């Protein structure tokens, strides 16, 4: 899927201005998307997870959500 189409799947307001590779990771591919609306510009990081290294990315996201909720509850 083209990256610009994929970025539309996320809840980011504004128009996608550009999306470019960023960083030089050894495992995953990372991209920086820039969105612009009338009042602001927003930068969004999108990461393509290597399924050979992480065969269950959904489990990673569940764990990340649990970790974030735990840390948030402690603040």
Q: What is the pLDDT of residues 8-61, one digit of tens each?
A: 777 788 888 999 999 888 899 999 999 998 899 999 998 888 999 999 999 999
The pLDDT of residue 1 is: 61
The pLDDT of residue 4 is: 73
- Cα 44-42-64 angle, rounded to 5 deg: 35
Output 38 or 4, whichever has higher pLDDT. 38
Using CA atoms, how far apart are residues 47 and 29, in angstroms rounded to an integer?
6
Using CA atoms, how far apart are residues 36 and 54, in angstroms rounded to an integer?
32
DSSP state of 3: H
- The total of structural domains in the chain comes to 1
Its domain, for residue 68, covers: 3-74
Q: What's the sign of the alpha-carbon dihedral 53, 56, 58, 62?
A: negative
Lowest mean pLDDT among 2-6, 37-41, 71-75: 2-6
CA 48, chain centre distance (Å): 8
């Amino acid at each position: 899927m083209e990256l610009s189409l994929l970025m539309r799947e996320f809840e980011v307001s504004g128009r996608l201005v550009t999306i470019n590779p960023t960083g030089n990771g050894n495992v995953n591919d990372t991209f920086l998307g820039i969105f612009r609306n009338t009042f602001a510009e927003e930068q969004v990081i999108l990461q393509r997870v290597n399924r050979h290294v992480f065969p269950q990315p959904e489990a990673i996201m569940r764990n990340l959500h649990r970790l974030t909720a735990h840390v948030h509850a402690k603040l």
